[in-house]
Structure 1
Amino acid sequence: MESNETSNHAADCDVTVQLSDCGRQDAHAVFASLDRVFAACDPVDPGAGTSGGAEPTVWMATFDSGSARQSGSGEASGEPPALSTRVTALLTGDAHAVDEVEKALAGIFEVHSTESVSGEHEREARLQLGPR
Structure 2
Amino acid sequence: MSTAQDQPLDPSAQVAVVLDGCDQEDARAVLAALQASFPSDRAEDDRPEETEGGHPTVWTATFDVSRTLGLADPGRLSAPVTVTAQGGYRAVDRLREGLAEAFAVRVVGTAAGDQEQEAKLRLDNQ
Per the normalisation by structure 1, the TM-score is: 0.79
Kindly report which structure 2 residues correspond to 1:9-24, keeping only aligned pairs within 5 A, or say none: 9=9, 11=11, 14-24=14-24
Determine the C-alpha separation between the residues in 2 that align with 1:107 and 1:9: 22
CA distance in 1, matches of 2:22, 2:4: 33
Could you tell me which runs of 5 or more consecutive residues in structure 1 were left unpaired when the two chains were aligned.
none
Quick one: distance in 1 between partners of 2:121 and 2:64? 19
Gaps of 5+ in 2: none
Task: State whether structure 2 residue 97 is matched by structure 1 residue 103.
Answer: yes
Answer yes or no: is the 8 Å Cα contact 1:13–1:62 preserved in 2.
no
* Higher percent of residues as helix: 1
Partner of 1:89: 83
- Structure 1 stretches (4+) deviating beyond 6 angstroms? none
Say what the alpha-carbon RMSD is for the aligned residues: 2.6
For this pair of structures, how many residues does the alignment match? 122
Per the normalisation by structure 2, the TM-score is: 0.82
SS at match of 1:39: coil
Report the alpha carbon displacement of residue 6 of structure 1 after superposing the two structures with TM: 9.3
Distance in 2 separating the partners of 1:18 and 1:83: 17
Distance 1:98 1:86 in 2: 20
Aligned mate of 1:46, from 24, 45, 48: 48
Larger radius of gyration: 1
1:23 and 1:55 in contact (8 A); partners too: no
User: How high is the sequence identity, in percent, across the aligned residues?
Assistant: 34
Query: What one-letter code is carried by the residue in structure 2 that aligns with 1:68?
Result: T
- After TM superposition, give the deviation of residue 42 of structure 1 in Å: 1.9
